[in-house]
Every structure is written in C-alpha cells, then in structure tokens.
Amino acid sequence: MQELQKMKEEYIEDEDYNYEPFADTEEYKRVNSECINNWVAIMKQKGINGLEGVLDVATGAGTMVQLVFDNFPESWRKAAVLCLDQSAGALKLAQSKLEKTVETLKLVHSSIQDMTLPDNSVDIAVWGNGIHYLSAADQLECVKRIRKALKPGGFLFFNTAFYEEARPAETLPFYRTQVKTAVQYLRDNGVKRVKSDEKTEAAKFLPRSYYESLVEDAGFKLVDAKEFAVDMHKEAWEYISAFQQYAAGALRGYPIDDAVNAMRDSVGPSIELHGNRDQNGEPYITRKWLAISAQA
C-alpha cells in the first residue's frame, strides 16, 4: 500500500500534474465503462470471439485497461496488453495497479508520435481521454500509425470529453462563472499573468464531425460514434479543475500552482449558481463524452 502511494507520488512529480484523483471518481469510471461496454458490444456484433493483443495508448494510471478487462467476457481476458505512455512514472503506477488483472503486460515508454510497433501486431487499440492533447496533424499521423500496427479488421476505439459538443449550451454559464471567479481570486491575491502562451491542445474543442472524418482520413472505416452524458458533481469538478493541464488551458499564462488553486476553489460558487439539482438536492453539471469506433 505504501509502495503504491510512493509510486503515485512519483507519477505526480514525474508528470508535474495529477489526473488520477479525477480518474478515480465514480462519474469518470461510469462514463468510461459505458463507452467500453459499447465497444465490447460492437466487437461481439462483428463476430470477434477472442483477442490476442490489446494496445492501450496514453495509459496513465491504467484506468482504461482495468475497465476494459472488467467489461470483457471471461474468455477475452487472456489477451496480452501493451501499455504505451510518454511518462515512465505513469507506466510504473499502471503496472502495479494492473498486475492482478492482466496476465501478460508489456510497458512501452514512448510518445504516441514516436511509437514503433510491428505492423499487423495487435487486435485492438484503445486510446482513452488523450487524443485531444495532440495537434490535428499529429492526430492524423498517429491514427495512421495505429492502423498499421493493427491486424487487418482490427479496431481502434477512442474517447474524449474535450470536443466541441462536450459542453451543452446550457452549461456554458458554469464555465464562464468559474473562470471569472478564478481570475478575480488571482487578482485579489496579487497573482499576475506571467506569459501569454499558445492555446494548449486540450483547450481546442474540435467537433464530433472532425473526429468522425479523422478515422476515415486515416484509412479506417467509421463503425460508430456515440455520445455519453455524465452528470458531474462538485468533487469531480474540483478534481478535474485541479488537473494542471485543465487549469492551464482555462487560465492561460498564470503560474500553474495558482491557476490550479483558483480553478478548484471556484467550482463551489459556480456549481451552486448554475448547477441542476439531483434528487438529493446536490448540484451537478452535465458533460458529454464522445466515443469513436473504427475498423481497419
């Protein structure tokens, strides 16, 4: 247990950010499970009855692999898994979390842009919550590269909550109030913008139609595109807002630690003001996830 905690700390230091608390929330696990359930159903419909090799792109703490295996029929759980991430710390953490679940686990320490896997070597590739970090040109290049690594007829599945339709129009006042409140908090604390940097990739919300075309442009057949809505409560918003890349995308140019604190502390008043109420009277804001299935 202490060892796992140490690895988590190393991952956070190594990456200088912390995504894992958000990935551990019920909301995150539920919506990603729904995406994965849909992907498994598609494979069954297409007559797949077993898998040898699974490539997990941008593994992070291994959440997607865990959920994929939880949703796999028993006979598919023999599949070998290749976990690819540019963070060595993430891979170490994923390994420790997945060793009970996955019999044959291989770690690939590489960016997806530099991935070199043999052609026709895996049955499916899963890319959870990570494609939006790349520029459009890199996305196309990488999706093509994944296609080459897949066996003929293999599947690519990916999802993202950072696309144009992810934030329904009626939820936009929440985001505006959160950023306005955060900027006020920074001003009140005398924190100034240090640089006006490029828009981070995560802040670019490309439309669903773009992702549908992307897979076709890379030579895949688009099998399915589905959106899943999830009602996210205060704690989940606090965790995602404290994720450094999220805070940096929302408050560009501010020192990152201040941006994180400001974004996290602004969730409470913003969700109180704009949230819908669940049956317990707790406020929530709905976010959408796009899940794409494509066949080589």
In whole angstroms, give the CA distance from residue 20 to residue 271.
Answer: 22
CA pair distance 167, 170, nearest whole angstrom: 8
For the segment 18-47, give every residue that binds ligand SAM (CB under 6 A). 19, 23
Q: Which of 18, 25, 63, 293 binds ligand SAM (CB under 6 A)?
A: 63
| Angle, vertex CA 26, rays to CA 20 and CA 32, nearest 5 | 80
- Continuous H helices in the chain: 2-15, 20-23, 26-45, 63-71, 88-98, 136-149, 172-188, 208-217, 234-241, 244-250, 256-265, 267-274
Select from 101-109, 110-118, 162-170, 188-196 the region that touches ligand SAM (CB under 6 A): 110-118
Q: Which stretch binds ligand SAM (CB under 6 A): 42-50, 80-88, 168-176, 215-223?
A: 80-88
d(CA 40, CA 124): 11
Q: Which is nearer to ligand SAM, 162 or 284 (CB)?
A: 162
Binding to ligand SAM by residue 98, rule CB under 6 A?
Answer: no
How far apart CA 262 and CA 242 sit, in angstroms, is 9
Q: Which is nearer to ligand SAM, 51 or 93 (CB)?
A: 93
When CB distances to ligand SAM are compared, the closest residue is 60
Residue 12 contacts ligand SAM per CB under 6 A: no
CA distance 57 to 111: 9
Instruction: Tell me if 85 contacts ligand SAM by CB under 6 A.
Output: yes
Structure tokens at 135: 């520029």
> Does residue number 261 form part of the binding site for ligand SAM (CB under 6 A)?
no
Written as six digits, the tokens of 294 are: 């494509």
Q: How far is the CB of 189 from ligand SAM (least distance, A)?
A: 28
Which stretch in 60-68, 95-103, 161-169, 170-178 sits in contact with ligand SAM by CB under 6 A?
60-68
- List contacts with ligand SAM (CB under 6 A): 15, 19, 23, 58-60, 63-64, 85-87, 90, 111-113, 128-130, 133
